Structure 1
């Protein structure tokens, strides 16, 4: 199979490569960056040029990780075996399985997205401080270890933990670029957001569980089953909002961060739907959409609250 059909125009090629990144999921990275910029704003430190570069690089990293995940799921057979995928929420982009792109082309596109992050990250570190190198290296390491052998964290029941850590790092990194040093506030609020991002991965894994189990991909949804995943989803939801409340109560975060609690009804509704339809995953699309909405609402609400508080201070 050719990498791409030679009959495609440059616009069609660009649109296809955009689809390969699973753009619908990139919004959560934008949200995490905005939250990190908002936590930095509480200290009076926001530089527009580096903020824009941070947004761009973080979205490139997420896009590259998505493409890399499609590549490795094609190699291990998970996506091919997944005849119950619920696009666009689960089962990858499906472009390899549809014969639209080849596996080698997918690997090359992942490299094109991820490798430029190294010099660009060095440039940001030159402006923001060397500590950013540790954040960037950890983020790239998690993107690789999530789906690539030998670690393949997603297959060991550690994918949700890796995802929570990765999105917490996005918040911490976006803040660090502005401040030039680490702070507790972005770490706390980043952890809260990361837990809700982990919920997205957890619920999206339920419809994929049967196919994943057949190819030895032992995700949490495979290990716990649908009802076990529903119980864990509820725990993670309450823990995410508990982190926000605790951060405010201990004085780590200003009261404006409580705006993130606006996401709680969405998360609880998703948890209830997951518990109700755990044995019928084809009915989980509304719950998946609610999970994505909850994470974005929490992050954007906290960012808006902190930004407004900083502007009025």
Structure 2
């Protein structure tokens, strides 16, 4: 049986991107080991996100291979349709868990670096918002139907009648919240960076490291477009509905894989010891925050004095021996 184009797209996306994301996560843990630094919450949360990514990738490939992706629902037997809806339900839940876990990892990474000044308050607030997003999205999506099983036991001709809360409205709302959280989290390090005494080129280089996650933002916006189409699907002819669901699933998966990948990229500096921007960021931002908070007493605070605070990890410890040698 020849595979449809949506099935091929699902197989390629769910093969290539999870492999790249797995390599990035593995390199992240290698980088931590190279720096002789204990694994932190940012590492464990991204590992959990990767496990969820691999789960939805395996299921997506399996669904495509057995003909559930890109096919007309009218051609399905009741057993096939039930199987498809179970897969969609599981993938919706897992995708939102991944969106939350990757955001948690980035915020925890910020807390690892920026542990002085007002940015601590901002990261703690972002952390609380992400946790609230994860809990709310998971349970409202889980219990949006009249009985969880009605999500997959409702026949195609009655699709939509089983919901207490309209599924497409929920997904749209959480897509918008997802975008707002992404923008907020990506913006957190910008103020400290642009207040540092660095050249324009260095500032741009450091900013680029943290804005690598903007690709995920693009995926989120494209997914929101297909979520809007999903909202209009009940008014469309039945033969057009599977395509909308397939596109929404594809971009949700792509966002999940890309988020896991890009969350790891700023941590890989020890793997590339000649890349100095992150080390400069850590050293400069700590000095700037400390100098600002103590400006009434002194104009500059050296690195040794900063590190007397046990909550502050010295920049060389963050980046490891390789970083200090190369710098």
Settle same-fold status: TM greater than 0.5.
Answer: no
Structure having greater relative contact order (Cα 8 Å, sep ≥ 6): 2
Between structure 1 and structure 2, the one with the greater Rg is: 2
Tell me which interval the TM-score lies in, with the shorter structure as reference length: 0.3 to 0.5
